[in-house]
Structure 1
Amino acid sequence: MSAIIAACNMGGEATIKVVSPSEIYVSIDKPEHICITSFSVSKIGPDRAVNVWQVFRNTESKVCIDQFQIGKVPGGFRGVGEPIIMSTGRYEITALGGEYAIRQSFDVNN
């Protein structure tokens, strides 16, 4: 299974490659001067979205990355909550850096 989704949103693009429910990669095409400071994944339900995974850049960290593997905490970041197990459904990623934000929905199919 493989899907690539790209969309413009607030000055950038996110490309999401779903290899399998346990192997999902996100690349963010953002302005060069922006550093992503938080990244989250929410599962979209019938009534609301539920945050299932989130990472924040450590305060002292100067790392500036634009690629994430969902469920893996990159160096210089800290994770919140338990490691996630992606199930079939619709999800949304949100990446923030200062006033920059990008949000993109995607589907996971088993």
Structure 2
Amino acid sequence: MFMPAEASSGKPFVEAGTKSTGSDPATDFRGTGILGLIQLYCMARDLPEGKLAEIVNLSRQEPHDFPLAVVGINITAILITRLRHGELLENHSITSKFSTDIIKVVLNHGAQ
């Protein structure tokens, strides 16, 4: 169950927004670990279907043409960095949307 699929690269992963054909998506998590994956999962789960399809289509069209999964992972990496530096903790409207436990995990992981 926790083993990677035999084919962990190729066209399906490129369509999902990993970096390039034949790349291993596991290398795209840029230090975000499981939080990067959770963020992508939550985006796919929580966005209304029409809005998610709109974002996916936008990511595949010129002049935008961006790797959606990588952008999501980069946003997670930016948030982790800002949380570790205490930059988001002052804004309660932002942190109230995050689980206190997740914030503690992120901050503690950075201290190790």
Q: TM-score range by the shorter chain?
A: under 0.3
- Between Structure 1 and Structure 2, the one with more strand by share is 1
| Structure showing greater Rg | 2
Taking CA–CA contacts closer than 8 Å with sequence separation of 6 or more, which of the two structures ends up with the larger relative contact order? 1
